[in-house]
Structure 1
Amino acid sequence: MDTFEQKLVALRHAFHKSPEIGFALDRTKARVADALRDLGLEVHEGAGVVGILRAGTGNRAIGLRADMDALPIQERGTQDHVSEIEGAMHACGHDGHMTMLLGAAETLAKDGGFDGTVVFLFQPNEEHGLGAQAMIAEGVLERFPVEEVYAIHNLPGAPVGQVSTRKGLICNSESLFEIRIKGQGGHASMPHVGVDALTVGSEMVLALQTVIARKMAPGSGAVLSVTEFLTDGQRNVLPGEAVLKGEARARAPEDRIALETHMRRLVEGIAAAHGVKAEMSFETEFIETINASGPVEAVYRAAESAGLAVVKERPSMSFSEDFAHFAAAVPGCFLLMGNGEDGAHGQPLHSDTYDFNDALLTQGAAFWASLVRDRLKTERTDP
């Protein structure tokens, strides 16, 4: 293991040992900002951390994003670098994403090989779909305009370093819904006196299953799941109120809108049939992630130049990604990079025994450097 790789491994382990959640990333942001300053980059701090690296006289700029937040999960791994924070863990590999991007910053700061500006975007609160919007609301894309933006996510179960992505949709949207039913509670021995909110809610749960089966086109890939059913009932008390919670995912904005429309019709109709009130909220936290053609082709070239295996036009992913907001504002590409197939590296994302693969750190840094040199070379003939 050479000195550069050792440095990246030590940095990744430091991130992993001290995970932070959401926007409360004081230690993490300080470590990122210090590392960028040590490399001589211009650093700006706000909701996230932005590093600016310029070379040559070119006026073009691209953005590279890494997410910084961890998850509220108690780690059960056996590595020497397990989380030292109770109830918090880097179970999605954001510790590795940060380290790969910092490795790329070091490579590019020392060796150059590009003409223009690289904007390193270290984003908070990806897991709740709020961090990209917070940075955009602060004006990050106006203060540091970029022509294109890119992001990497590791993929357990795929060979180490294998790059895969596709043009168009790469990740689904995620919308959270909540349905509040207000009936009339009463004694369990006299159900006819009131309107049991639990029975009404149960009817809604079953009816909502028909939205995907009978209202959406086959092959739409839409998903609707009721995940919580809460009432104020007791052993001999019929509930007067019930709350249904869940999520809906879609591959296209029109399908997301259709899901909400069909759900509202069912909820309103069933509530009216039982003579109760029902209110429904439908909040989209993650919009669909759409990759632009030019950036995707650039990723293919950069991966091949870095000696990485490439899977082109891979199937889209069912999970959601906060990077979608950056890609909606600027043409971009979200790509997957294999984390390995065995042991902790092959465990599912968000598993309490998952771990980012250190073997991926130098490969990811090399890919980022290759991409920058592809997009910010002096002469470019591709679109």
Structure 2
Amino acid sequence: MGILPVIDAATEELTEIFKDLHEHPEIGFTEARTAKVVAEKLRAYGVDEVHEGIAKTGVVALIKGKSDSGRRVGLRADMDALPIHEETNLPYSSKNPGVMHACGHDGHTTMLLGAAKHLAKTRDFDGTAVLIFQPAEEGLGGARGMLAEGLFDKFPCDEVYGMHNFPNGAPGKLGICKGKAMAGASFFDIKVQGKGSHAAMPQQSRDPVVIASALVAQIQTIVSRNVAPLDSCVISVTQIHAGSAYNVVPDTAILAGTIRYFKDEVYEMAAERMTALCDGFAKAYGVEIGIDLRNIFDVLVNDADLSDAYLEAAADIVGTENVSDGIEPATGSEDFADMLKAVPGAYIVVGHSGTVPLHNPGFFLDPEVLPVGASVMARVLERRLPLAAG
């Protein structure tokens, strides 16, 4: 089948949309310009309904097929960027200092707009397409925000599908990991409240820097000595903040980081051990240590049957030789997991040229993949809402 004709004809338009979004990235829950572009394009494509302002900047559109079986299939894209200074030197590099589409959400948004254009023009399906443009995926709770505002109550879906780019140097190859595909995640902040002093007289202090450093080392033993070898868990301390002068032992030290996991019981154990370590260090050193643990992402679970359906749709576009159900689980996280807890569905990755990793200031999403992703998203909806023969 190849690229769907309406999308193929719109390739230049989609590329321009993508470049415009890339030039104007916005952090989660501030995607006002992006949402406006999305809503304007959807209305221009002739969708039946456009709903704005869901979870601040989210957009949902409805497209009715040629007939109405009563079934509804959702397609979702994320819109937010990251607080990263772009270093790609692209002619359409970010114009917003310190903000960059370093994860490809500009591409995801463009792909879903391409699918919308095709679906609104052809309407070769039986039911309703629900197009979800989600804000704030990057750890800010955009999916949970939309769900809290009644996303699937107001716009019910029988199934929902998402997509993410993958800079693996393999353009046009798509894959799915069935079952548990991406890790759940929690963020943590730990405050060590010690006692400051002159650095030349540390005996007068209860040095939070020394305590925090020892605590970091002990946190690393949680995975190595508490998690079963065949289970997966990652605990990374990613921030240490303390002190402001060469000759002062500070009062406080702050640690922050993340836990990634595939089993809730593993996370609960890790959280209990971290809390116990903080309590123990507080008693041992005679200080106060507080810990704040916040679940940010659920484990992303792909429905096995709907994964197969997604791969079959992808094969229609790129050929069976370019799709795979052998993708390994990833310790990265994705808040589409929250939508998949509410509605069954699947999440596919689409490869493209370039190998600079996601969340890197040099990340590059090859625009050549845009019509591929758009066609696959449109095709899975058509397959899941087939028109009656004749």
Aligned to 2:359: 350
CA shift for structure 1 position 379: 6.5
TM-score (norm. length: structure 2): 0.92
Aligned to 1:277: 288
1:325 equivalenced with 2:325 (yes/no):
no
* Mapped contact 2:28–2:140 kept (Cα < 8 A): no
Aligned to 1:375: 384
1:238 and 1:313 mapped to 2: Cα distance? 52
Corresponding residue SS for 1:23: coil
2:314 and 2:368 mapped to 1: Cα distance? 16
1:116 equivalenced with 2:127 (yes/no):
yes
CA shift for structure 1 position 117: 0.7
Aligned to 1:147: 158
* Mapped contact 2:125–2:385 kept (Cα < 8 A): yes
1:302 and 1:338 mapped to 2: Cα distance? 16
CA shift for structure 1 position 238: 2.6
Match of 1:313 among 326, 332, 336: 326
CA shift for structure 1 position 84: 2.3
- 1:221–1:113 Cα change, 3 Å: same
Aligned to 2:98: 87
Letter in 2 for 1:4: A
2:362 and 2:291 mapped to 1: Cα distance? 37
- 1:74–1:192 Cα change, 3 Å: closer
Tell me which stretches of 4 or more aligned residues in structure 1 moved more than 6 Å: none
Percent of residue pairs identical: 39
2:379 and 2:139 mapped to 1: Cα distance? 31
Aligned to 1:160: 171
Match of 1:30 among 30, 36, 46: 36
Corresponding residue SS for 1:72: coil
* Mapped contact 1:124–1:132 kept (Cα < 8 A): yes
Corresponding residue SS for 1:60: strand
Aligned to 1:337: 350
- Which shifted more, 233-242 or 354-363? 233-242
* Mapped contact 2:173–2:318 kept (Cα < 8 A): no
Corresponding residue SS for 2:14: helix
* Mapped contact 1:61–1:117 kept (Cα < 8 A): yes
1:36 and 1:188 mapped to 2: Cα distance? 62
Corresponding residue SS for 1:36: helix
Matches within 5 A, 1:217-296: 217-232=228-243, 234-296=245-307
CA shift for structure 1 position 378: 4.3
* Mapped contact 1:129–1:286 kept (Cα < 8 A): no
1:51 equivalenced with 2:61 (yes/no):
yes
2:231 and 2:362 mapped to 1: Cα distance? 33
- 1:3–1:306 Cα change, 3 Å: closer
Letter in 2 for 1:294: D
Aligned to 1:71: 82
Letter in 2 for 1:44: H
- Which shifted more, 118-127 or 181-190? 181-190
1:357 and 1:138 mapped to 2: Cα distance? 34
For the aligned residue pairs, the C-alpha RMSD in angstroms reads 1.9
Letter in 2 for 1:16: H
Partner deviation per Cα, 1:249-279 (whole Å, 9 max, x = no partner): 1122221111101111111112112222111
- 1:230–1:220 Cα change, 3 Å: same
1:90 and 1:337 mapped to 2: Cα distance? 17
- Which shifted more, 17-26 or 78-87? 78-87
- 1:331–1:318 Cα change, 3 Å: same
Partner deviation per Cα, 1:220-267 (whole Å, 9 max, x = no partner): 221111122222474333333222111111122221111101111111
Corresponding residue SS for 1:59: strand
1:279 and 1:74 mapped to 2: Cα distance? 32
1:209 and 1:95 mapped to 2: Cα distance? 36
* Mapped contact 1:119–1:144 kept (Cα < 8 A): yes
2:388 and 2:254 mapped to 1: Cα distance? 59
* Mapped contact 1:129–1:322 kept (Cα < 8 A): no
Size of the aligned set, in residue pairs, is: 376
1:302 equivalenced with 2:308 (yes/no):
no
- 1:230–1:80 Cα change, 3 Å: closer
* Mapped contact 2:172–2:318 kept (Cα < 8 A): no
1:129 and 1:327 mapped to 2: Cα distance? 17
* Mapped contact 1:129–1:321 kept (Cα < 8 A): no
Matches within 5 A, 1:211-222: 211-222=222-233
Aligned to 2:368: 359
Aligned to 1:8: 14
* Mapped contact 1:58–1:378 kept (Cα < 8 A): no
* Mapped contact 1:100–1:362 kept (Cα < 8 A): yes
Unaligned runs of 5+ in 1: none
Letter in 2 for 1:11: I
CA shift for structure 1 position 307: 2.5
1:269 and 1:233 mapped to 2: Cα distance? 27
CA shift for structure 1 position 92: 1.2
- 1:20–1:238 Cα change, 3 Å: closer
- Which shifted more, 358-367 or 142-151? 358-367
* Mapped contact 1:100–1:365 kept (Cα < 8 A): yes
